[in-house]
């Protein structure tokens, strides 16, 4: 039984799954609360006291993707691990684009779920740590760690939490070529292995948002290596 550990909200419409995860996570030292649907998840996160969410995608009425969108739209940065029976890259990207921090296909090993859950929870303090005024600048980019806001020149850029962490990683290392594995470990907490396309898709999303006002590209691809934040002459 957990005593004083972080609180994880488990959201699944199947009672057996909820209780199995409750028991398993409590044995790992977590406090656990549960919700049977997406609406319940949004309400509990909004009430506070939730340190992380394990959220199933396939639920009636308000599914996991919509619940995730509503949580993020309300301004919450609580770490979210999404569970689904679907394992296609497009489905995983949909979950990340909705604002999830990680994505785990069913069936899964409990050890992997716990490891991923702890990884996304570790990233929160790192993302919220800031220097003096919490602002990072590069070229015409400005990132405010405190307010979780980004501007390109005078234009505000709306980013999901994961997109924000990805951009923050680049801005912390301007001009430095970052290998794909480095970026995956910093932003997602682990390496996807051979599935490097997930990172490429996410970089594409970030580029479109940063360049939608016609601004020049700042995130450059270094073929066969990774990416670099660099203003091209």
Q: Do domains 7-127 and 130-229 have the same CATH topology?
A: no
Question: What's this model's pTM, rounded to 2 decimal places?
Answer: 0.58
Q: Are 169 and 183 in contact (CB under 8 A)?
A: yes
Helix (H), strand (E) at residue 24:
helix 15-27
Fold of 130-229: Arc Repressor Mutant, subunit A (1.10.10)
pLDDT tens track for 19-44: 999 999 999 999 999 999 999 999 99
pLDDT tens track for 124-143: 543 333 345 678 888 899 99
Reported as a pLDDT band with limits 50, 70 and 90, residue 106 is confident
DSSP string computed for 170-216: HHHSTTPPEEHHHHHHHHTSS--TT-THHHHHHHHHHHHHHHTTSPP
Q: Looking at the domain that runs over 7-127, which CATH code has it been given? A: 3.40.50.2300
> What is the average per-residue pLDDT within 137-152?
89
**Cα–Cα distance, 80 to 199 (Å, whole number):** 18
Residue holding tokens 């009672």? 15
CA terminus-to-terminus distance, the chain: 59
What does the domain layout of the chain look like in residue ranges?
7-127, 130-229
């Amino acid at each position: 039984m957990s005593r004083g550990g972080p609180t994880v909200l488990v959201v699944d419409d199947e009672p057996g799954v909820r209780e199995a995860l409750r028991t398993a996570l409590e044995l790992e030292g977590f406090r656990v609360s549960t919700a049977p649907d997406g609406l319940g998840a949004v309400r509990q996160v909004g009430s506070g006291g939730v340190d992380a969410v394990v959220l199933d995608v396939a639920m009636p009425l308000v599914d996991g993707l919509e619940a995730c969108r509503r949580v993020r739209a309300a301004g919450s940065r609580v770490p979210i691990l999404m569970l689904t029976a679907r394992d296609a890259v497009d489905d995983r990207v949909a979950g990340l684009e909705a604002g999830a921090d990680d994505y785990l296909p069913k069936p899964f090993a409990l050890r992997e779920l716990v490891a991923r859950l702890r990884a996304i929870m570790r990233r929160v303090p790192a993302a919220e740590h800031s220097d003096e005024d919490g602002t990072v600048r590069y070229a015409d980019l400005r990132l405010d760690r405190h307010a979780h806001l980004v501007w390109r020149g005078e234009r505000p850029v709306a980013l999901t939490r994961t997109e924000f962490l990805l951009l923050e990683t680049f801005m912390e290392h301007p001009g430095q070529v970052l290998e794909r594995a480095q970026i995956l470990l910093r932003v997602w907490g682990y390496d996807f292995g051979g599935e490097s396309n997930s990172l490429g898709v996410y970089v594409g999303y970030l580029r479109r948002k940063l360049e939608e006002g016609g601004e020049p590209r700042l995130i450059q691809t270094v073929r066969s290596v990774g990416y670099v934040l660099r203003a091209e002459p």
